[in-house]
A = this chain, B = another copy of it.
Amino acid sequence: VVIDLSADFRIHNALLFSKAYGSYPPCPEYLDQAVYGLTEVYREQVKNGDIIANPGCYPTATLLPLAPFLEKGWIGGRIVVNALSGISGAGKKLKENLLFCERTENTGAYAAGKTHRHVTEIQQEVDLLSAPEKAEQQHDVLFTPHLVPLKRGLAITTTVELNTDLETSALLSLFEEYYRDCPFIKLLPESYPQSRSVWGSNRCDIGWHMEGNSLLLFSTIDNLVKGASGQAVQNMNVRFGIDEQAGLATEGAL
């Protein structure tokens, strides 16, 4: 069993992978066996997968609040995703752009639209999760990441239009039902998720704001835990029938 932290098995379509990463996937022959390891959404597949592709940090935090709505087919049109990422999201490379003096007291967008590799991954899952009977409807993902002067932390705001009238209570019910028995999802019906609340934990906090048929979704994760190795451990736990929370924190440490 392989739980892969790289992007090698995340994109099912080798050609799309090539476009995003500039090279052909290293093991294309295994792509169709790979399971996309967004644990809460693909739990059954993860239980039985032998190649589990651990998702990227941006896709994890983007897809978790969206998944229930995509599966219901309640979203119409494009999906606008704005992400705020701590600097560790860029890794530990020796790049001038990552020096303390370049990033402190500074913020701004980068790699917007299809420029960022993670968009291919987000778009793939948006398409796959969309309700089949609405499959003719394409949801274009418009993604803009920003660097903010944090060490860890990812906060995402997603703006969509609902194609159906929804009561506030129905929205909460949808989330509660979808994420029943998910120890790492915390729903915040009354407040806005903050990155430090999930700092060091494997949790994803989800909030929302509805205005007419516009829906704003808010989600926060620790990019180094639920957005990386923490979710890998969670996948390992689920795959091998261990307690899903083993070795993982549900409370932030900051």
| Contact residues, A82-124 vs B (CB, 8 A) | 82, 84, 86-88, 92, 94-96, 98-110, 112-115
**Interface 1/0 per residue, A127-160 and B, CB below 8 Å:** 0000000000000101010101111110101010
Work out how many copies of this chain go into the complex.
4
CA distance A157 to B146 in the complex (A): 9
Q: A5 CB to closest chain B CB, in angstroms?
A: 18
SS class, residues of chain A in contact with chain B: mixed
**Contact yes or no, A150 B87, CB < 8 A:** no
- Any B CB within 8 A of the CB of A80: yes
**Contact yes or no, B112 A216, CB < 8 A:** yes
**Contact yes or no, A104 B157, CB < 8 A:** no
Q: A118 CB to closest chain B CB, in angstroms?
A: 15
Q: Contacting A149 at CB < 8 Å: which of B98, B148, B209, B212?
A: B148
- Any B CB within 8 A of the CB of A58: no
**Contact yes or no, B192 A114, CB < 8 A:** no
**Contact yes or no, B104 A149, CB < 8 A:** yes
Beyond A78-B214, A80-B80, A105-B153, 20 additional contacts (C-beta under 8 Å) are A82-B144, A84-B84, A87-B101, A94-B94, A94-B96, A99-B100, A100-B102, A100-B149, A104-B149, A105-B151, A106-B254, A108-B193, A109-B207, A113-B214, A140-B214, A142-B159, A144-B157, A148-B149, A151-B254, A200-B200
Q: A119 CB to closest chain B CB, in angstroms?
A: 10
- Any B CB within 8 A of the CB of A218: yes
CA distance A167 to B108 in the complex (A): 25
- Any B CB within 8 A of the CB of A1: no
The 6 closest A-B pairs by CB, nearest first: A108-B194, A82-B82, A106-B196, A100-B103, A113-B211, A94-B94
- Any B CB within 8 A of the CB of A62: no
CA distance A103 to B100 in the complex (A): 7
CA distance A212 to B209 in the complex (A): 28
**Contact yes or no, B195 A106, CB < 8 A:** yes
- Any B CB within 8 A of the CB of A27: no
Q: Contacting A84 at CB < 8 Å: which of B100, B140, B148?
A: B148
Q: A218 CB to closest chain B CB, in angstroms?
A: 5
User: A218: which B residues are within 8 A, CB to CB?
Assistant: 108-109, 112
